[in-house]
Amino acid sequence: MIVSMIQIIFEIPDVDSIKAKRQIVRSVREKLQRRFHLSAAEVDLQDSLSFAQIGGALVSNSKTFGETVLQKAFEMIERDVPVRIQDVSIHSEEF
């Protein structure tokens, strides 16, 4: 069993309330879950107004498949979500 994981830290420009930030984070999380069938959650920086950290995971039988799906998910965020990516890491572990 291979677990592929992604962690993304991004800046949300022009946000003036925690409610607006949560709406954007929820939208990103739901897109990851719906389009890529990832388990996803906001994992840190909940108290920050302009930064968010989302983690996602995918279980498969192939490291290549898992990391390819996560790379496509990252590209979707870069392309479709109005945020500035600060950091991203993708890796897999075998269990």
Statement: residue 13 has pLDDT above 90: no
pLDDT category at 14 given cuts 50, 70, 90 is confident
Q: Is the pLDDT of residue 2 over 90?
A: yes
Query: Tell me: the pLDDT tens digits for 28-81?
Result: 999 999 999 999 999 988 888 889 999 999 999 999 999 999 999 999 999 988
Give exposure, 2-19, as e/b (b: 16+ Cβ within 10 Å).
bbbbbbbbbebeebeeee
pTM for the whole structure: 0.84
Q: Count CB atoms within 10 A of the CB of residue 87.
A: 9
DSSP E strands in 22-75: the ranges are 39-44, 51-60
